[in-house]
């Protein structure tokens, strides 16, 4: 695999970034509270960067995705600096919008361009990972509004 991100390997980078995000987020849930939460936020930023750098967006869409990533970073900093937990919903909405935009871009690139190759197959895996992330974010938003809406899940703090 080439070191530089191009159209022959962009979905590999995207999929590895998503897998890293999923692994890190699961580690945060099972490990004691502390530095891993900051590591998770760093991995989210890295995932956003990989999405923006590896996918073909038109100019306006790329700016929109960059603004979403910047808004997420600012909201996360505000949440950490000021301790305002109500910003969690905003952070989740921004993440959902970003992953939806990424999903839309990947699906267009896979379904409507060229022939099927290994990069597109890996891109299809990235689509499934993104769908799972979006469902997870949707459930987390429901839990923000109604913390006891699901049984068998411990209360979010």
Q: How many domains does the chain have?
A: 1
Cα 122–Cα 128–Cα 131 angle in degrees, nearest 5? 145
Whichever domain contains 103, its CATH number is: 1.20.58
Q: Across all residues in the chain, what is the average pLDDT?
A: 85
Contact assessment for residue 137 and residue 145, using Cβ atoms and an 8 Å cutoff:
no
Query: Using 50, 70 and 90 to split pLDDT, how confident is the model at 145?
Result: confident
**Rounded Cα distance, 72 and 14, in Å:** 19
Q: For residue 13, what are its two tokens?
A: 């980078």
**Is 25 a domain residue?**
yes
Q: Print the domain residue range for 109.
A: 10-145
Cα 18–Cα 23–Cα 29 angle in degrees, nearest 5? 130
**Is 5 a domain residue?**
no
**Rounded Cα distance, 69 and 63, in Å:** 10
pLDDT digits (tens, 9 = 90+) for 44-97: 999 998 888 888 777 888 888 899 999 999 998 888 888 777 788 889 999 999
**Is 1 a domain residue?**
no
Does the predicted TM-score (pTM) go above 0.75? yes
Using the predicted structure, report yes or no on whether residue 156 has a pLDDT greater than 80: no
């Amino acid at each position: 695999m080439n070191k530089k991100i191009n159209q022959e390997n962009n979905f590999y980078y995207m999929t590895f970034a998503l897998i890293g995000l999923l692994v890190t987020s699961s580690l945060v849930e099972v490990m004691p509270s502390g530095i891993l939460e900051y590591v998770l936020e760093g991995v989210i930023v890295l995932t956003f960067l990989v999405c923006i750098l590896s996918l073909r967006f038109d100019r306006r869409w790329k700016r929109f995705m960059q603004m979403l990533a910047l808004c997420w970073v600012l909201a996360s900093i505000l949440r950490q600096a000021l301790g305002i937990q109500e910003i969690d919903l905003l952070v989740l909405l921004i993440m959902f919008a970003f992953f939806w935009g990424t999903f839309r871009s990947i699906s267009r690139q896979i379904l409507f361009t060229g022939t099927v190759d290994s990069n597109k197959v890996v891109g299809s895996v990235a689509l499934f990972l993104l769908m799972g992330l979006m469902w997870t974010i949707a459930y987390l938003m429901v839990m923000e509004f109604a913390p006891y809406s699901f049984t068998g899940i411990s209360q979010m703090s």
